[in-house]
Amino acid sequence: MQQLVERVPEASRGGGRTPVGERVAAATDETGDPVATAGPTEEAVEPTTEPVEASTVPEPAPVDVVEPLVVLPEGVDEAGFAAGLLSPDVPPAATGVLDVVPGEVPAPGAGEVKTVRVQVERGLEVDAEKFATLVMDTLNDPRSWGGDGSQTFARTEGEATFAVTLASPATTDALCAPLETEGLWSCGQYRHAVLNHMRWVEGSGIFGDDLAGYRQYLVNHEVGHVLGHKHVSCGAPDEPAPVMVQQSGDVLSCRPNGWPFP
């Protein structure tokens, strides 16, 4: 049987405390001969009872999202840019080639679905996608022809119920014949609403500075013809004009209005 004997160095006898690390433990057998020695002992570490705060990771600072700067074309305001205009110039004629604006957009409302193909004459300084978006947003506005729930409009690039085309004054005259548009007016006939680019840029005296309102009127009025509606007259002077009143001139006996269901 082995016994553990603590040997104290001579210098420490006499009551002095032996420094930690100078104590040596020796193992002896029954005869007293040493069999093993242990290294310096270590002081016990008292367990702490104090709570340890969990480390927290600071949240990242919010990052400001900077909207890209939109530089408007010279002579074009925000409403005109949203309508697709890239220049205020109005050429009397362009190429005569009608480019279909690609893309399919489903009808958002209830009622009979009318499909619309949107076209822009090649050579006009127009963002065709913006023009098409404004046309479809106008037709599917609750104040437009689907406002009574009878119909809704889907955009297509193939065969369609009717087409909406933005054309130069000369091409408008050709597409609208035998109607005489004289380079000044637009038309809606034969499943085709033709919008005169000159009017799209310049508007009308009746709408004045409200070019956005006039463009909505032009879409609704000419599509109204395609849907079978004819011209009508104003009612009382203080009432809004029915959308099928001609409002591309300079004089109106009632208030301007571009919507079938204002």
pLDDT in tens, 43-67: 544 555 555 555 566 777 777 777 7
**Residue 184: is its pLDDT beyond 50?**
yes
- Cα separation, 73 vs 180, whole angstroms: 33
Q: Which pLDDT band, with edges at 50, 70 and 90, does 36 fall under?
A: very low
pLDDT above 60 for 18: no
Nearest of 122, 196, 195, 114 to residue 159 by alpha carbon? 114
The pLDDT of residue 39 is 47
Question: Is pLDDT of 208 > 80?
Answer: yes
pLDDT value for 47: 54
Kind and range of the H or E element at 26? Answer: strand 24-28
Query: What mean pLDDT do residues 109-123 have?
Result: 97
What pLDDT is stored for residue 19 in this prediction? 43
- Return the axis-axis angle of helices 211-226 and 128-139, rounded to nearest 10°: 70
How confident is the model at residue 56, as a pLDDT?
A: 67
Q: Which amino acid is at 181?
A: T
61 contacts 49 by C-beta, under 8 angstroms? no
Around Cβ 97, how many Cβ atoms within 10 Å?
Answer: 11
Domain with CATH 3.40.390 in the chain: 78-226
- CA 190-80-238 angle, 5° bins: 75
Domain spanning 78-226, CATH architecture: 3-Layer(aba) Sandwich (3.40)
